[in-house]
């Protein structure tokens, strides 16, 4: 085992704790991403066009996937599946706001969606989302309202297969528990996770990390004893070791 004191952490990291091993263990137990649990995957299944995916990701901001999926399916039903820049512009923010209300911040998000639709249309239409080089597209999209680093990373990885690691609350929590970083900075966390999973499919790794965070590595009461990574995860090793020591001390005190 090696000890990592970076960022003032004191973590004992097992030698075989690598990105490759993490993916291997998670796939061995059949951890999968259910399409109906992620709004981006629901969008790709129901529509498949890039603008619809971008809308879905905007809806997912500051809310749960469950709420975002409900909002997205309501919008999809209203538009009879035709989620395009032209239809968003035609409807306007007022008519979009009601169906997306379950996702929260509906007044703001509806305005963002319409404004993004207008700018994409001005730049040549939805085709730019699949035809422009990723870095050029990134520069263009990040100037639009409602589109930040996470939205860009999720969109480019899901639609274009770009090898970037989007950071949500699960990825942030897990990166810190894995002693990869103690930072809360999006760019820093994304970089550390990218380095950790170097040589692996980052799109796949990202989905597995989210699934891990939802099933075992939860924010409250993480299920370390049930987790398939318990023997190599720095957090699980430390947590289970301290639990064992407390148990032994309690037993000794009773004697």
The count of structural domains within the chain is 2
Looking at the domain assignment, is residue 63 inside a domain? yes
Residue 11 in this model has a pLDDT that exceeds 90: no
Element at 11 (helix H, strand E): strand 11-13
- State the residue range of the domain holding 230: 2-32+166-250
Examine the pLDDT at 189 and tell me if it is beyond 90: yes
In a domain, 255, yes or no: no
Cα–Cα distances in angstroms (integers) from residue 213 to residues 128, 152, 167, in the given order: 34, 21, 12
CATH of the domain at 135: 1.10.340.30
Is 56 in the same domain as 125?
Answer: yes
Statement to judge: residues 91 and 57 lie in one domain: yes
Residue 91 lies in a domain: yes
- The pLDDT assigned to 241 comes to 83
pLDDT digits (tens, 9 = 90+) for 131-161: 999 999 999 999 999 999 999 999 999 999 8
Same domain, 117 and 187: no
108 has a pLDDT exceeding 80: yes
Rounded Cα gap, residues 181 and 189, in angstroms: 7
Could you count the other beta carbons within 10 Å of the beta carbon of residue 90?
A: 13
**Same domain membership, residue 55 and residue 156:** yes
Residue that is last in its domain, among 129, 160, 191 = 160
Per-residue pLDDT at 252 exceeds 60: no
Give the model confidence (pLDDT) of 22-79 as tens digits.
999 999 999 987 878 889 999 989 988 999 999 999 999 999 999 999 999 999 999 9
* Same domain? 184 vs 207: yes
Same domain, 151 and 203: no
12: pLDDT confidence band, cut at 50, 70 and 90? Answer: confident
Phi and psi torsions of 215, nearest 5°: -90, -45
Please name which of 129, 91, 138 lies closest in space to residue 110, comparing C-alpha atoms. 91
């Amino acid at each position: 085992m090696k000890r990592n004191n970076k960022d003032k952490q004191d973590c004992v990291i097992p030698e075989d704790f690598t990105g490759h091993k993490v993916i291997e263990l998670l796939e061995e137990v059949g951890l999968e991403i259910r399409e109906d649990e992620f709004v981006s995957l629901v969008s790709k299944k129901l529509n498949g066009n890039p603008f619809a995916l971008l809308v879905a990701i905007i809806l997912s901001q500051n809310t749960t996937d469950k709420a975002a999926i409900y909002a997205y399916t309501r919008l999809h039903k209203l538009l009879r599946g035709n989620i395009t820049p032209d239809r968003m512009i035609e409807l306007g923010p007022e008519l979009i706001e009601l169906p997306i209300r379950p996702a929260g911040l509906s007044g703001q998000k509806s305005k963002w969606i319409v404004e993004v639709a207008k700018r994409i249309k001005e730049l040549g239409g939805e085709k730019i989302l699949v035809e422009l080089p990723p870095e050029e597209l990134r520069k263009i999209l990040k100037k639009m309202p409602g589109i930040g680093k996470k939205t860009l990373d999720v969109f480019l990885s899901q639609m274009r297969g770009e090898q970037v690691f989007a950071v949500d609350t699960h990825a942030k929590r897990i990166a810190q528990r894995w002693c990869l970083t103690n930072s809360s900075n999006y760019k820093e966390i994304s970089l550390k996770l990218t380095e950790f999973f170097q040589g692996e499919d980052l799109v796949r790794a990202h989905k597995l990390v989210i699934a891990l965070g939802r099933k075992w590595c939860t924010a409250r009461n993480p299920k370390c004893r049930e987790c398939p990574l318990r023997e190599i995860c720095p957090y699980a090793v430390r947590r289970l070791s301290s639990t064992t020591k407390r148990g032994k001390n309690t037993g000794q005190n009773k004697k």
